[in-house]
Chain A
Amino acid sequence: MKDIKVLGTGCANCRATVQRIEEAARAKGVEIELTKVEDMPSIVGYGVMATPGVVVDGKVVHAGGVPRREVIETWLA
């Protein structure tokens, strides 16, 4: 099971990111545990400077803007 966290304060791009990851995981049949990290100290604790950020199994893989579908699929592989 992949542990995926989406870092962001709830802007439109953050919601779109969560939705896109959910869709990609469902399409690929990969089981994930998706959490939203919304409080600011925790977000900056990951060292990202642009939201939404994405953390997969404890590692920051993306920051700033909604990630593209192909990129998300590489995280799920």
Chain B
Amino acid sequence: MNAVLSWPVERPKVFLLVATAIWIALYALLVPASEAIVAVLPVDRESHLGSALQFFFYDTPKVLLLLTGVVFVMGLVNSYFTPERTRALLSGRTGGLGNVLAASLGVVTPFCSCSAVPLFIGFVQAGIPLGITFSFLIAAPMVNEVALALLLALFGWKIALLYLVLGLAVAIVSGWVIGWLRMEAHLEDWVRNLARAQAGVTAGSTTLAQRVQAALAAVCDIVGRVWPYVIAGIAIGAAIHGYVPQDFMASLMGREAWWSVPAAVLIGVPMYANAAGIIPIVEALLAKGAALGTVLAFMMSVIALSLPEMVILRKVLKPRLIAVFAGVVATGILIVGYVFNAVL
């Protein structure tokens, strides 16, 4: 490995300081830079094209910068919570507090939907109750670093925090309901017949250098994978900002249209767009008169409930348990949508 790539690992503390300073400097430069770019372009700022371009040139670097920052920090946090450690923390828990802990750990434990099945089995084998396992499995994909970074960039910290809290609430309550329904019989037979395994922590100590290395790898992996979606999403969002008339969405996704929340959830489930592509579009819809509760419900159902994930989970769950899982989570999201539209 050459010197340029290895110094963050050799001097992790220096790297963290320098990287933070550069990041803050870039963030401070965002507004003047985007204004300068749009000022140079030969379009009228007040025109449709002008306002679309301004949205695009301001939001793209902002989102990518925040995404890089949040993914890096989450990468560092993730290095403290391996799946094995999380399993050990959860084993032996019962009751509502277990659901709360499981949902919270779902946010900070590294998770990829392709690993959902082995993780699920690892939890079941360690004797973690089904409801607590589900709290983890619902929170992990719903409250992810990409969604949080985009919400932070496009909606501000209040909405990002709200999404975090509501996502956790849906995961905690849904898991608790699934546990209360005692669905253990609806696991596939081969899963129920697996031998019990002891939950133990095997990982050795991890140095700061290794954590930095893991966080950098997460940035390369995640930002490298989602940036085209971010740009496509912002481009569509920009077009909506520039060309769709004000209040166009009010009648379709506004607060008065009672059916808009269930419709948003129904449309959201089969969509497997990732958070990166969907959030900029949603932000633009909000600006055109869509209600926040409806928009939140749409986002949550796109991110938390997806057909491919259910196909993966079908390997371990019988159809009835999948239906209950989807139904309980969808109901939770519906309630979130209605409560928001009613309160705000």
The reply on B121 being an interface residue by CB < 8 A is yes
| Residue from A11, A41, A44, A70 within 8 A of B122 (CB atoms) | A44
Query: Contact: B114 with A49, CB < 8 Å?
Result: no
* In the bound complex, CA of A50 to CA of B119 (Å): 6
- Tell me, in angstroms, the Cα distance from A48 to B87 when the chains sit together: 12
B10 within 8 A of A: no
From residue B52, how far is it (CB to closest CB) to chain A in Å? 33
Cβ-based interface call for B110 (8 A):
yes
Q: If A40-B117, A44-B194, A65-B217 touch, does A49 touch B122 (CB 8 Å cutoff)? A: yes
Contact of A51 among B1, B115, B190 (CB under 8 A): B115
- Chain B residues 60-100 with CB under 8 Å of chain A are 82-84, 87
Answer whether residue B339 sits at the interface, using C-beta atoms and an 8 A cutoff.
Answer: no
Provided the pairs A9-B114, A64-B110, A64-B115 are in contact, do residues A50 and B197 lie with their beta carbons within 8 angstroms?
Answer: no
Report how many residues on chain A are interfacial, defined by Cβ distance under 8 Å.
Answer: 20
User: Chain B residues in contact with chain A, CB under 8 A?
Assistant: 1, 82-84, 87, 110, 112, 114-115, 117-119, 121-122, 125, 190, 194, 197, 217, 221, 312, 315-316
Residues of B within 8 A of A64 (CB): 82-83, 110, 112, 115
Known: A44-B117, A49-B119; 8 extra A-B contacts, CB below 8 A, are A9-B117, A40-B121, A43-B118, A49-B115, A49-B118, A50-B83, A50-B118, A51-B115
Residues of B within 8 A of A14 (CB): 114
Q: Which 9 A-B pairs have the closest CB atoms?
A: A49-B122, A11-B114, A49-B83, A50-B115, A44-B121, A49-B119, A51-B115, A49-B118, A40-B315
Shortest CB-to-CB span from A66 to chain B, Å, is 8
